[in-house]
Structure 1
Amino acid sequence: MTTIRVGGTHTSLEKAEQHVREYVTNTGRRWAYPAYDGYPGHDGPELGEADLLAPALLNAQQNPIGSYYGFESILDVLNERLAEIPTDVTLDIATDATLEKIAQLYGVLDTNKPKYISLTKLSKALHRKRPGLLPLYDRNIRHCYVYAHGAPVPDTKNRSWTDLTRLWVAAVQEDLTTQLDQWTALAGLATGPTITPLRALDIVGWYLGDQRGSGEWTSEDPEPSDV
């Protein structure tokens, strides 16, 4: 039986296909696809005001007004760092230099962290600008990469967002690269807006990291003090 891995979690390829197929067909309109992936947002490689609403379409909806203004307050610095991130590179072929730029981009929260803006919301705003390169983060993904048995990222107290991102994105790259054929096939199940292999990895990781076992996502990743 072929298995597929996300961090310290794994499942059969057959079950992964079931999860992704359910998510991207979305007959009951329960999931974020196609709303998030097809949301037009701001036209261009930089973040615009329209992109600041996108996290709500992945259920990062807490305090949407405060979040919008929080994003707006750091939009310039985000775009300065985002401009350093290639538009034509995917995570499976990203160099160490590009990985460091991603860490610095997500690590903006170390020095510029508005109220209501977490790594969850930040990643959900940024992913759509580089969907093959910038991974998504939430509490389910954190479980896969930090808390699950055999997870590749140590659970360390008082770690900076930059350091967390360095370790986590490198681990995601490993999972993506070593199983790229499987993730590419899973991404091909999308029936509307196309998704990338990286997005397919996130969908499977979301299911595998759901400790309620319900497949339901009810609230945003809480603000961790021990990132």
Structure 2
Amino acid sequence: MLSLAREVTVGGSWHDIPMSEMISVGGMTQPRDKLLAYARDYLNPENNYAYPAYDAYHGSGSAQVEDVDLLAIVLLNAGQRPLPTYYTLHRLLPQINERLADPRLTGTFAEASQTTVEAIADLFGILDDHRPTDYVGKTKLLKVLHRKRPELIPLYDENIRRLYSETPNPPVPRDTKRTHREFALAWLPALQRDLVAYHDLWQEIVAMADPKAPITELRALDIVAWKMGSNVASTSGKPRTS
């Protein structure tokens, strides 16, 4: 009997798609077992990845971003030039918290409507509206924001960019003329499709995590996409990044 998964477009309707042992995330397809192995390795605290340090970090515990939350970026190995990074993010706190309070930011990313996706893109737009943002780009900003809405706001870094933009048939072709917000509007629907299409896989990875440091399906996707994107980087001859 053929198993079915559920897929949805942003703001669109659900429809059934066949399950497969081959999983396509971004512009790469790999066996399901291999992706589970990636996650198992990453979630093993003995391997000294960012889990569980980043995911268990309590921070301020507030719905808003406060000074103590800015320190979380070093726990995802994105803390190069920590003092300039801290001061830049600190200056942006009023704008960050104003947009984070947008009532459109509700629910989960898997269920996000076009309106909610646009509100997430507005968070990316902070980097467009408040230039120059020295030492802070999408990677560091989203590492702070994900912790405040872990089921709604995705993570991002260079490996994920490569996975979605530098494969032979990328779902989000590279365009250096895009603003940060425009990139988000192109990338978020592709990410949402991957999150929804392989819901069972992300649930299985979520169950691997220590209950004391739980993760969301969105974080599970990030873990797998980060590793897959590192393979894109290594085969293209570009340096690997954390």
TM-score (normalizing by structure 2):
0.85
Aligned residues of 1:59 and 1:218 also touching (Cα < 8 A): no
Aligned residues of 1:45 and 1:87 also touching (Cα < 8 A): no
Q: 1:193 to 1:131 in 2, by over 3 A?
A: same
Moved more, 64-73 or 188-197: 188-197
Structure 1 residue ranges (4+ consecutive) displaced by more than 6 angstroms after TM superposition: none
Aligned residues of 2:106 and 2:116 also touching (Cα < 8 A): no
Amino acid at match of 1:147: E
- Equivalent of 2:143, from 124, 139, 146? 124
Query: Which residue does the alignment assign to 1:197?
Result: 217
Query: Which residue does the alignment assign to 2:14?
Result: none
Query: Which residue does the alignment assign to 1:175?
Result: 194
* Distance of 1:87 and 1:101 partners within structure 2: 6
Aligned residues of 1:10 and 1:208 also touching (Cα < 8 A): no
Aligned residues of 1:8 and 1:151 also touching (Cα < 8 A): yes
Q: Which SS does the other structure have where 2:43 is aligned?
A: helix
* Distance of 2:109 and 2:134 partners within structure 1: 29
User: How far off its partner does 1:105 sit?
Assistant: 0.8
* Distance of 1:95 and 1:76 partners within structure 2: 26
TM-score (normalizing by structure 1):
0.90
Q: Does 1:208 align with 2:224?
A: no
- 1:112-137 CA-to-partner distances (Å, cap 9, x unmatched) read 14210011101111111111111111
Task: Tell me which structure has the larger Cα radius of gyration.
Answer: 2
Query: Which residue does the alignment assign to 1:144?
Result: 163
Q: Does 1:60 align with 2:78?
A: yes
Q: How does 1:158-169 map to 2 (within 5 A)?
A: 158-169=177-188
Query: Which residue does the alignment assign to 1:22?
Result: 41
Q: Does 1:154 align with 2:180?
A: no
What do you get for the CA RMSD once the two structures are aligned?
1.7
- Equivalent of 1:9, from 18, 28, 31? 28
Equivalent pairs: percent with the same residue?
40
Query: Which residue does the alignment assign to 2:58?
Result: 40
User: How far off its partner does 1:157 sit?
Assistant: 2.2
- Equivalent of 1:107, from 125, 146, 163? 125
Aligned residues of 2:73 and 2:144 also touching (Cα < 8 A): yes
- 1:56-88 CA-to-partner distances (Å, cap 9, x unmatched) read 111111110000000000100010001115675
Q: Does 1:51 align with 2:69?
A: yes
Aligned residues of 1:187 and 1:195 also touching (Cα < 8 A): yes
Q: Structure 1 regions of 5+ residues with no counterpart?
A: 221-227
Q: How does 1:70-81 map to 2 (within 5 A)?
A: 70-81=88-99
| Matched positions, count | 216
* Distance of 2:123 and 2:103 partners within structure 1: 9
* Distance of 2:184 and 2:66 partners within structure 1: 23
- The structure, 1 or 2, with the larger RCO (C-alpha pairs under 8 Å, 6+ apart) is 1
Q: 1:150 to 1:103 in 2, by over 3 A?
A: same
